[in-house]
Structure 1
Amino acid sequence: MKASKGDIYMGVVGIVVLVIVVVLAVIVIGIYNQLVALRQNVKQGVADIDAQLRQRHDLVPNLVNTVKGYASHEQETLDAVISARNKAATGAIDSNDEAGLRVALDRLMALGEAYPDLKASANFQELQRELSDVEDKLAAARRALNAAVSRYNTGVESFPAVVFAGMLGFTHADFHRLDDSEKGVVDQVPNVQF
């Protein structure tokens, strides 16, 4: 039996449609996988900041207790540090709380200049070095998060991903993610006693 021109035409059209559907599916799968990888990088950046904030918050009680032994009459500064630390760790989470903690820690470190014995204390020096290291790592983690967010947002907005991103559940990430990154820190408030 001989195929008619209409049958051949329909067969060719069917194959072309099938090829187009397969190519489109491969493109959508590729876009989805790329966006998932970019989103995971953002989540990793948030987790890295969380880890650094935990370490920072864990160092504060040790610093306060070390300084307390040398500068017991500096109660106002010590109280301010603990208050800022607790607010950053338990209050309405806000990047301003972390900034307040940073200012309070700077004041605490300045006490080292006023108390030569404290400044010479090996414990104080080690805690100061650790805090400086944590601050450097925190800044690096924030830069890495911002880069990951930028790559993710670029991926979501780039063609052809922009056509499918919304349908696949991908939305823009926020550059100001400190509030999200601090959620894990909220659970762990160490007991600081004067």
Structure 2
Amino acid sequence: MLLIIILVAALVLVPLIAVIVIKNGLVAKENQVENAFASVDVMLKKRFDLIPQLTSCVSGYMTHEKELLEKLTALRSGSRDTEALAQSNHELKNQFSQFLIKAEAYPDLKASDQFMMLQRSMNEMEEQLAASRRTYNMSIEIFNNAVLQFPSSVIAKRNNMTKKEYLKFND
């Protein structure tokens, strides 16, 4: 009789424990994705925060480029979903490239220590952003694998966990 009770308990408890472990794993992976996205968002905000410093540094030199500087400043605000971030990143890169090309026409500006420091800061920020994007996309891959592979796919489906999109910047 005791053996039957142990067998029945084992048949009920083992699947229950497996479901709990798998669900907790999925939740942890989803939290990791959100954390990685927040890291990308922080890096983008830091990069956008460099823009006012850059524009104030060059405003005395580049009086004819006011429209370009205003466009750079306008790109600081906007939505924070993956598609909007990718779009604003693409626009920022285009505007910043134009800015650097136009800065070539101002030798005094290029020689400015503050401008050189800001340019280095922007390059460092680009490297940090690229690392954050890689981390985010790796988290997405791990989460998507868990959501799509059996048996975790069954639990993911029951908990409305679906495949997430990668962060694609059109560099």
1:102 aligns with: 93
**Most deviating of 129-138 and 164-173:** 164-173
The whole-number CA distance in structure 2 between the counterparts of 1:37 and 1:177 is 23
Offset, 1:150: 0.4
Residue by residue over 1:114-173, the C-alpha shift from the partner in whole angstroms, topping out at 9 and shown as x without a partner, is 111100101101111111111111111111111100000101112211121222342222
Which residue of the partner structure matches residue 32 of structure 2? 41
In 1, distance between residues paired with 2:161 and 2:153?
9
Aligned to 2:59: 68
- Is the Cα contact below 8 Å between 2:41 and 2:80 reproduced in 1? no
* Superposition deviation, residue 44 in structure 1: 1.1
Higher alpha-carbon deviation: 101-110 or 147-156: 101-110
- Once residues 26 and 80 of structure 2 are traced to their aligned partners in structure 1, the CA distance between those partners, rounded to angstroms, is 31
Are residue 128 (structure 1) and residue 119 (structure 2) matched?
yes
TM-score (norm 2): 0.86
2:142 to 136, 151, 154: 151
Q: SS state of the match for residue 64, structure 2?
A: coil
The aligned amino acid for 1:90 is G
Amino acid at match of 1:16: L
Give aligned pairs, total.
166
1:90 aligned residue (45, 61, 78)? 78
Match of 2:17 in 1: 26
Residue 127 of structure 2 corresponds to residue 139 of structure 1: no
- Residue 109 of structure 1 contacts residue 128 of structure 1 at CA under 8 Å; is this kept in 2? no
Match of 1:192 in 2: none
CA distance in structure 2 between the aligned counterparts of 1:69 and 1:105, rounded to whole angstroms: 18
RMSD: 2.1
The secondary structure found in structure 2 opposite 1:114 is coil
| % identical aligned pairs | 33
For structure 1, list consecutive stretches of 5 or more residues without a partner in the other structure: 1-7, 179-194
Equivalent-residue separation in structure 1 for 2:107 and 2:27 (angstroms): 53
Report the Cα distance in structure 2 between the residues aligned to 1:177 and 1:41, rounded to whole angstroms. 18
SS at match of 2:59: helix
SS at 1:74 equivalent: helix
Report runs of 4+ in structure 1 exceeding 4 Å deviation: 11-14
Q: 1-side partners of 2:20 and 2:80: how far apart?
A: 40
Offset at 1:92?
A: 9.0
Q: Contact 2:110 / 2:116 at 8 angstroms: preserved in 1?
A: yes
1:137 aligned partner, one-letter code = Q
Bigger Rg, structure 1 or 2:
1
How far did residue 80 of structure 1 move? 2.8
Change (3 A) 1:155 1:19: same
